[in-house]
Structure 1
Amino acid sequence: MRTKLPIILLFALFSGIALGQKKSELFAQIEELKSEKQELEQELASVKREVSSSKAKSETLKTENVSLREANATLLKNLTSFSELSKKSSENVNKTLAALQQKEKQLNGINEMIASNDSTAIVALTQVKKTLGENANANFSEGDIILSGSLNTLFGSDSSMELTDEGNEWLARVADIIKANPDRKTEVVGLNITGEFATTYDQAIAVTKRLTDSLGVTTEKLSTLVKDGNFKEGIAIKLRPNYEDFYGKVKESVKVAQ
């Protein structure tokens, strides 16, 4: 018994030492596991943060993607609208240019007719001066050929109603001019500076009657009037263009140009 006791004590001692070592190792392992757990928890938290950040970025990208799609759709719509507007504007510009060209063509036609009328009147005025003489008081104004005769030449005074021989001779040449220009209307205009229009009108009527009754001028295109001469007196005989016929030709020219 005494021999076995030391052995038992020695066994117990070794067992205690071995157990102590295992506990120490176990505690060390526990601490190591705790450390690993803490590291894993930190890594997990980091991963969670990254996942959360990725989700936030994903949501942001989704929102931006939606905004970009809407912006693209709006831009495409605006581009389509701009294209249509540009097309309409181009069509309107082309229509406007065509209309302007048409108007220019019409205006050119009218200007050509006016120029032709003026040119004809200038040629007629040259013939008038040849008929009345180089010292004839004949002018061209606004399309009218104007032949002027003084009261002294026609009547011998500003109050007489009887034509002088010189006046009758002058009117005979005027009658030839009127008959040579049948496309023009004739106005016998009495010009007065005193306000006594009755005398001036009687003188203008005397000239008109001489032209129609004795010199073969038709009454269809002849009219008589008096007006303030604005510091001029006498008888003015105007050969005026047939404006009705002229405007009729202009209208016809405009229709053809359309």
Structure 2
Amino acid sequence: MKKIYTLILFAALSTSAFSQRKSDLIAEIDNLKVQISEVEQELAKTKREVSSTNAEAEALRTENVTLRDANATLLGNLSNFSELSKQNSDNVNRAMEALARKEKQLSGINDMISSNDSTAIVSLTHIKQSLGENAKVGVAEGVISISNSLDKLFGSDTGTELTEEGKTWLQGVANVIKLNPNFTTEVEGLNITGEFGPTYLQAASVATELVTTLEVPAEKIGISVKDGNFKEGINIKLQPNYKGFYATAKQSAKAAQ
């Protein structure tokens, strides 16, 4: 009987110990489950953070690539701009140099034109002093024109022999021509009838007197006739040597290049 009680007590103790152990195991399991849940939550959080960090890193990498590309493009543009700026600067310098050469050319030509105009004005003063204040003298476009009527030169509008008054007048004209060696002379006959033959003979008579009697160089004298538009007479025109003027202007232009 005593053994039975002993067995029963042992069984009870064993059962109680087993129950206690089971309870502890269940509690431990529950605790482990809680820890596992916490670990899983922490892992999920960490994964999210890692994913976010990876996304940010990828964004930064992409941005860095973009910035490098933009920087390379900017450097290329700056290099192109620098080269273009240099080319533009060279073009501007060449244009300024060309402009300076043109200004120098124009300055030389203007000086020559002004010189011709000034010579014409000064010559006009001398002509009036030589021929008198009543002399018919005018200046147009640098050309001095000394005029006289056919009656005073030839005694009539059809005569071809010079009168003494005409010869005296031509003496003064010859002096003017000799004082202006840089000018050429043209004897121009004006006609109102349309018969240019007699007018040409009158102009030729004046030119002959200037060359043969008054010793004006023949190469300085030219002859022309034209319709006088209701005016007749003789014009003696003193004008710049345009051929020489253009030759000088051409030479000046070459020198300025």
TM-score (norm 2): 0.89
Moved more, 218-227 or 99-108: 99-108
1:198 aligns with 2:197: yes
The CA deviation string for residues 44-96 of structure 1, in whole angstroms up to 9 with x for no partner, is 12222222222222222222212211111111111111112112221222222
Q: CA deviation at 1:194?
A: 4.2
CA distance in 2, matches of 1:208, 1:252: 33
The CA deviation string for residues 96-133 of structure 1, in whole angstroms up to 9 with x for no partner, is 22222222222222222222222222212111111110
CA distance in 2, matches of 1:192, 1:17: 163
Aligned residue for 1:163, secondary structure, equals: coil
- Partner of residue 123, structure 2: 124
- Partner of residue 145, structure 1: 144
- Partner of residue 42, structure 2: 43
- Partner of residue 104, structure 2: 105
- Partner of residue 2, structure 2: 3
Aligned residue for 2:138, secondary structure, equals: strand
- Partner of residue 134, structure 1: 133
Give the gaps of 5 or more residues in structure 1.
none
Letter in 2 for 1:135: N
- Partner of residue 159, structure 1: 158
Aligned residue for 2:189, secondary structure, equals: strand
CA distance in 1, matches of 2:244, 2:36: 116
1:242 aligns with 2:228: no
CA distance in 1, matches of 2:168, 2:221: 19
- Partner of residue 222, structure 2: 223
CA distance in 2, matches of 1:130, 1:124: 10
1:172 aligns with 2:132: no
Give the gaps of 5 or more residues in structure 2.
none
TM-align CA RMSD: 2.1
Q: CA deviation at 1:207?
A: 1.9
Letter in 2 for 1:251: K
- Partner of residue 92, structure 2: 93
- Partner of residue 56, structure 1: 55
Aligned residue for 1:79, secondary structure, equals: helix
